[in-house]
């Protein structure tokens, strides 16, 4: 299928792509049920015969972060038992260090936020109706319209008020349109407040020839933002409804075991798990053979799920997150030198989706003041894993520090 790339209405180059909604790799392949009127809402008012005075949709990415005086707050209490168990409890109220992204439509000139309306034959419907019925044999094509309540105007070349019979566009293209500006899809990066309640303990185990230390850490976290993808709404072109960020409660824990062998070689192994307590996973398949879609017998993915924020992309199907994300780590460290003035360390982490990260670093004190260091970070594994996607960022770092006495 030949397409033109560049700004809608101002094509720059021509290329050929294979359109495949079953294995999409570009944005429009995720919208096989979008009507021409939906694209007209985004493409200005000349897409279907309008006056041609309104530009096509644009996008912006903005950051809306809290003020510097909105500080984080945390407390901790720790103690030890007579038997030698060290324990602590913690509470932390903070802005999450991982940002979330909200999607919204705005007037490209005034910045006013727009409402997304869904229309079909006979009138306006809700997103819940789409989620319930899309894919049924009786479901009719649905159009996405953008409406500005402050000016009582629609964007594109179609205004439903000019179609009182509810025929969705018959005789209404270019009629009744009162908007004069284009639309802008805004991606807003924000930080969300979270509550964190955690605890930890460690204890020595002296029953074996090698001394061991058992460590356990646990954290319950509320209101952590995760992306949720609704492929049904995405299929009809409702970007605002299909790409949302929702609050999820998380339970995270680490179980570690430390051993010292060969005099001073510390070996530490850990099992790490992140459990998503509000995980979204609704499988669904849509039937596009309903009257009016124009391509009979095609089925597409219409599921709704929590997406994997670190890896999701257009080329991996907006990758679904795991309900329970797991890691295994192995850490080794040992001093060296006649006076143990040096130390090397190696950390290897394996994730359950096939990604690996290895960090080797060494530090050596040339004098009491001058210390040199070197570090090698290597990433590899599955391209759609947290670590594997970073394979081209493997790096070497070298440094020198001076200690003032």
Q: Which residues of 72-99 are buried (b: 16+ CB within 10 A; e: fewer)?
A: eeeeeeeeeeeeeeeeeebebebbbeeb
What are the extents of the domains in the chain?
Answer: 31-62+102-187
| Tens digits of pLDDT across the chain (405 residues) | 333 333 333 444 445 556 776 778 888 888 888 887 888 888 776 655 555 667 778 999 999 999 888 889 999 999 999 988 999 999 999 999 999 999 999 999 999 999 999 888 777 888 888 877 655 544 567 889 898 888 888 887 666 766 555 544 443 444 445 567 889 999 999 999 999 999 999 999 887 788 899 999 999 999 999 999 999 899 889 999 999 999 999 999 999 999 999 888 999 999 999 999 999 999 888 776 555 444 555 677 889 999 999 999 999 999 999 999 999 999 999 999 888 889 999 999 999 999 999 999 999 999 889 999 999 999 999 999 999 999 999 999 999 999 887
Residue identified by tokens 């930080």 is 191
Instruction: Dig out the tokens for 128 from the structure.
Output: 């819940």
Question: Residue 224: which of 272, 279, 187 has the closest Cα?
Answer: 279
Is the CB of residue 381 less than 8 Å from the CB of residue 357? no
**Spatial separation of the C-alpha atoms in residues 117 and 336, rounded to whole Å:** 68
Is the CB of residue 134 less than 8 Å from the CB of residue 214? no
Question: How far is the CA of 347 from the CAs of 128, 270, 310, 318, 383, in angstroms?
Answer: 48, 11, 21, 30, 21
**Spatial separation of the C-alpha atoms in residues 335 and 345, rounded to whole Å:** 9
Predicted TM-score (pTM) above 0.75:
yes
Is the CB of residue 270 less than 8 Å from the CB of residue 256? yes
């Amino acid at each position: 299928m030949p397409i033109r790339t560049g700004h809608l209405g101002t094509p720059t180059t021509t290329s050929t792509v294979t359109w495949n909604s079953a294995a999409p790799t570009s944005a429009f392949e995720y919208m096989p049920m979008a009507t021409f009127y939906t694209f007209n809402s985004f493409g200005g008012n000349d897409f279907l015969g309008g006056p041609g005075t309104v530009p096509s949709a644009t996008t912006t990415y903005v950051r809306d972060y809290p003020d510097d005086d909105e500080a984080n707050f945390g407390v901790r209490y720790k103690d030890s038992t007579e038997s030698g168990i060290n324990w602590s409890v913690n509470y932390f109220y903070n802005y999450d260090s991982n940002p979330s992204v909200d999607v919204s439509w705005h007037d490209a000139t005034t910045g006013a936020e727009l409402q997304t309306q869904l229309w079909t034959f006979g009138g306006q419907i809700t997103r819940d109706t789409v989620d319930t019925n899309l894919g049924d044999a009786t479901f009719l094509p649905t159009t996405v319209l953008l409406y500005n309540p402050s000016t009582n105007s629609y964007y594109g070349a179609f205004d439903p008020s000019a179609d009182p019979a509810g025929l969705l566009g018959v005789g209404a293209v270019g009629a009744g349109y009162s908007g004069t500006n284009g639309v802008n899809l805004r991606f807003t990066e924000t930080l969300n407040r979270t509550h964190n309640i955690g605890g930890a303990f460690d204890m020595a185990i002296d029953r074996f020839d090698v001394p061991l230390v058992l460590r356990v850490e646990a954290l319950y976290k509320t209101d952590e933002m995760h992306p949720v993808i609704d492929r049904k709404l995405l299929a009809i072109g409702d970007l605002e409804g299909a790409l949302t960020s929702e609050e999820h409660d998380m339970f995270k824990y680490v179980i570690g075991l430390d051993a010292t062998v060969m005099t001073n070689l510390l070996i530490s192994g850990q099992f790490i798990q992140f459990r998503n307590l509000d995980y979204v996973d609704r499988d669904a398949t849509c039937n596009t053979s309903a009257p009016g879609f124009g391509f009979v017998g095609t089925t597409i993915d219409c599921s709704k799920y929590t997406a994997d924020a670190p890896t999701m992309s257009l080329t991996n199907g907006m990758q679904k997150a795991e309900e329970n994300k797991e890691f295994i780590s192995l850490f080794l460290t040992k001093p060296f030198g006649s006076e143990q003035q040096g130390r090397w360390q190696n950390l290897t982490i394996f994730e359950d989706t096939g990604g690996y990260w290895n960090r080797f670093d060494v530090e050596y004190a040339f004098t009491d003041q001058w210390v040199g260091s070197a570090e090698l970070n290597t990433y590899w594994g599955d391209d759609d894993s947290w670590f594997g996607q970073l394979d081209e960022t493997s790096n070497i770092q070298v440094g020198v520090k001076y200690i003032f006495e």
